[in-house]
Amino acid sequence: MQLMNGGWLALSSKVAIRPSPNFNDRPAGTSISLLVIHNISLPPGEFNTPYIADLFLNRIDVNAHPWFANLKDLKVSAHFFINRQGHVTQFVSCDRRAWHAGVSNLNGREQCNDFSIGIELEGTDALAYEDAQYASLAELTGCLRQHYPLTDVRGHHDIAPERKTDPGESFDWQRYAMLANWPATALKPR
């Protein structure tokens, strides 16, 4: 993977670009220091559907599934989504603020969206992630570390523990750290 000027990945057989309208500018002078790992599946527990992209692009048909009533008028995004096959879709430039973390805090610093990059893995808290997802996540992490002064990686549950549980107990932090060659001091999942 290659990150281009402007915070977008270069297109490849493993990367697609689908710009979301759900972003804004980061506060002036903000350094991007945090990766946040999430999981998502829509409907919950179902994979390989078009609904995640539809959600991030504000096109989800809330009548397509009863659970989607929970998503009515929701405006969210992540910088990246990695599906079960390891394909990466970028929705927001890394230089911009995606709307993925919500009310959040890392070491007393609130509003993690301001200084983070959000990566969604297609999955659930309880189901194992795929080898291809770990490989793509590690490759993407390496690419991002070359361009941004990343010092921490956390699960969504680490920065919003009262609200979130993802990426869940099924995410293998040690495997990720080894594949991404991420320093152990940066990984402090609960």
Active site residue 130: no
- Residue 184 φ/ψ, nearest 5 degrees: -60, -30
How far is 121 from 8, CA to CA, in rounded Å?
A: 18
- Residue of 87, 89, 94, 88 whose CA lies nearest to 4: 94
The answer to whether the beta carbons of residues 127 and 120 sit under 8 Å apart is no
How far is 50 from 68, CA to CA, in rounded Å?
A: 13
How far is 145 from 28, CA to CA, in rounded Å?
A: 21
Task: Catalytic residue, from 120, 122, 130, 169: name it.
Answer: 120
Cα dist. 16→73, 127, 167 in Å? 25, 25, 23
Q: How many residues does the chain have?
A: 190
Report the C-alpha dihedral over residues 131, 113, 182, 148, rounded to 10 degrees: 120
Return the active site residues: 120
